[in-house]
Structure formats: structure tokens, C-alpha cells
Amino acid sequence: MKPFTATLTRDVLIALRSRTEMLNPIAFFLLVTVMFALVFGRDLGTRHLVGIPAIWTTALFANMLALEGLFRREHDDGTLALMLIDNSVTLPSTVAKLIAHWLLTGMPICILAPVLGVAFGMSQSTLLMLAGTLVVGSMVFTLVGSVCGALIVGLQRGGVLLTLLVFPLYIPVMLLGIGTCQLHQAGEEYTSHLVGSLAILAGCITAIPLAIGPVLRASQDQ
């Protein structure tokens, strides 16, 4: 087995064995979104209005909940050092970790979002657009968040710092994603917003996997 496949399999296996940790962000997303739907229960117009921003914002916070653990376990048990001492292993193993992280936190949210969107009275095409933009957005969240997670991995209780670092960086893709869905819902032209989100994703996919290794090494050098 190659380092990429082995690390991807390993991370999925660990997540399945620590179910509470894996389910926390998903449960948070589910509960908060349902709460939004209940709070604006009677007025369909208001629900229609707040649905997309509520789901996007909750997805963002759910992702942040899972972020601190991205490299923490590996740092604590010493496996991170083993991934970093050989340059040829660092890239495939860290990319595998990012993919596993998205599969275990981003993807379930993208699947749940259109189901929960029904409670906000969204049309079928808006639900599909919501899921599609969340796929792009959650990938950006994972990629951008991974760099910040890598920066603070050596720090004890870096959670607050992580939130402060990550939050401003998440805002552009969140606003573009919300804008795309809202314009689509209103029947207006949304291509520029969608292209903007895709451009951010393309930039992140190109640059971030190469940056993670050096950032992790720098955070070890403390």
C-alpha cells in the first residue's frame, strides 16, 4: 500500500473508531439548522430568506469544530513527525489526511444540507445549488483550515487562535456561496459568484497541499 492510500484508510478507520469525535460537527450542524427552522417556524417568507445563510453559517462553524483535531492526534502520538521526516511521504500523507477530513466532515454536511433545506421551503433546484456550492465551500474550508490547523498544532489550547485565524479567511467563499444560492433562488444571474467560488477552490487546491508540509515543519520547529 502506498503512503496516500494507507493514510487515507488509516484516518477513516480512526474516525470510525472515535465516533463521538466524528459525529460532533455533524450533530452540531443538524441541531443548529433545525433550531433555525424552528425559530422561524411560522413565517415561510422569513424561513425562505434566512435558510441559505443559516445553513452556510452553520456549515462553517461545524467545519471549524472539526478543524483543531486535523493534525492534533498525529502531533500528540508522534505519527506527524514520521510523516515529516521524509519529504517524499509528506505530500501524499497530508493530502490523504485532507481528503479523509473532507469525506468525514464536509461531505456529510453537503448531503444533509439539501435535506434540511426542505424545512426552509427551498425549491428543488435551489436545494441542488445549495449542495453544489457547499461542496465547493466545504472543500475550501478544509483546505484553508488545514493551513491554520497546521500553524497551531504545536500550541496547547490553540482553539481560540485557530478560530481567529480561520474565520476571516472563510468569509469570502461563504459570501460567494450564499450569494450564488440567493441569486439562483431569485432567478437572477449567478455565474460570476459561482466562478468566484470555483476560482478560490482552484487556487486552494493548487497551492495549499504544497504549503502544508513546510507549515507543519515550521510549527514543529518551536
Partner 1 sequence: MQGRELFNGLACRVEAGSTIEIHGSNGSGKSTLLRVLLGLQRPDHGTVTRHVGRIGYVGHRLGLTGLMTLGENLRWLGALAGHNSAESEVRGALERMGIGGCFNREVRHLSAGQAKRGALAGLTLSGSKLWLLDEPLSSLDDQGVSLLSEVLTSHREEGGSAIIATHASITDSSTETIELQN
- The count of residues interacting with partner 1 (CB under 8 A) is 28
Q: Measure CA 23 to chain center.
A: 14
Show Cβ contacts of residue 43 under 8 Å, excluding neighbours closer than 6 positions.
none
Nearer of residues 48 and 73 to partner 1, judged by Cβ = 73
Query: Minimum Å distance from CB 161 to partner 1?
Result: 20
**Does 86 interact with partner 1 (rule: CB under 8 A)?**
yes
**Does 79 interact with partner 1 (rule: CB under 8 A)?**
yes
**Does 24 interact with partner 1 (rule: CB under 8 A)?**
no
Query: Minimum Å distance from CB 155 to partner 1?
Result: 15
Instruction: Name which position in 42, 188, 191, 221 contacts partner 1 (CB under 8 A).
Output: 221
Instruction: Name which position in 31, 77, 123, 125 contacts partner 1 (CB under 8 A).
Output: 77
Nearer of residues 24 and 163 to partner 1, judged by Cβ = 24
**Residue closest to 56 by CA, chosen among 197, 153, 155:** 197
Contact between residue 216 and residue 97 where contact means Cβ atoms under 8 Å apart: no
Site string for partner 1, 184-213 (x = CB under 8 A): ------------------------------
11 residue type, one letter: D
Binding residues (CB under 8 A) for partner 1: these are 1-3, 5-7, 10, 13-14, 17-18, 73-74, 76-79, 81-86, 89, 93, 217, 220-221
